[in-house]
Amino acid sequence: MKTVLTPIVMALSLVFVGCSSTTESGAVGASRSQLLLVSSAELDQMAVQSYNKLKAEAAAKGVLNTDAAMLARVRAVAARIQPQTAVFRADAPRWQWEVNLITSEQVNAFCMPGGKIMFYTGLIRKLNLSDEEIAVVMGHEIAHALREHSREQVSQAVAAQTAISIGTQLLGLGGGTSQLTGAAYEALVATQFSRSHENEADRIGLELMARAGYNPQAGVTLWQKMTSAGSAGGGGFLSSHPSDSSRVAQIQALLPTVMPLYQAARR
């Protein structure tokens, strides 16, 4: 019995040791314990490599930062939001922030770990985004990086694979069953956690943009546009950030909390 329990105890110990939180709760109350088993520095390094590769490929195709006016708009929004990240993480304003623009029909945008931001022209053009609506997207994507959602998902995968490996050893199952179980877990948990992460990113992002002096009511108009674009078959950002009535309802519920922050920033 001792040999059976030892690996299980070790795995559980790893999980409990890895539970912490990456951010302060802010005014919107975004606070929970996270499973973080992998190194933040290691993930940041991988993000830099991936981001540089994406930039190089876009530059080679002649689609990197080709619209100077739009690039200036996106970078101006980012410059106002970045200092506000200190509310959630003291180290975040010192990240090596970078903002670039890819000319593409894709309706897409993201912020990699460590503050590497990429917007696609299709998102702004197809939805005819105002600067305040760009700020909604920007705040949301930066929130994903602040909360280290990518790191959390990788950690979840590590914990799952550890448990699966122990289970297959104890039950004497072959590697094929282990891989199948792992694939099932990934498919099941990915949707569950993406919903949780999207919820957090909406909350934190709304506070970030309000503190930066952008009207958070733009969150309602943005997701209304997203809903219309989604029904028209939009991909990219819309596929990974599904819009629905509950999302708009949450933003509306948060307005009494974030509007005073916006009004204070405008004074």
Catalytic residues: 141
Which residue bears the tokens 């009207």? Answer: 215
Return all residues near 178 (Cβ < 8 A) that are at least 6 apart: 164, 165, 167, 168
What's 86's DSSP letter?
G
Determine whether 199 is exposed, middle or buried from the number of CB atoms within 10 Å of its CB (0-12, 13-18, 19+).
Answer: middle
What is the gyration radius of the CA atoms in the chain, in angstroms? 20
Asked whether 38 and 155 are in contact (CB, 8 A), the reply is: yes
At what angle are helices 68-81 and 131-146 packed, to 10 degrees?
A: 50
Name the nearest CA neighbour of 157 among 3, 236, 43: 43
How is residue 78 written in tokens? 């980012």
Q: Classify the C-alpha dihedral 261-248-69-85 as positive or negative.
A: positive
Task: Give the C-alpha separation, 241 to 42, whole Å.
Answer: 26
Host H or E run for residue 19: strand 19-20
Task: Give the C-alpha separation, 234 to 264, whole Å.
Answer: 36
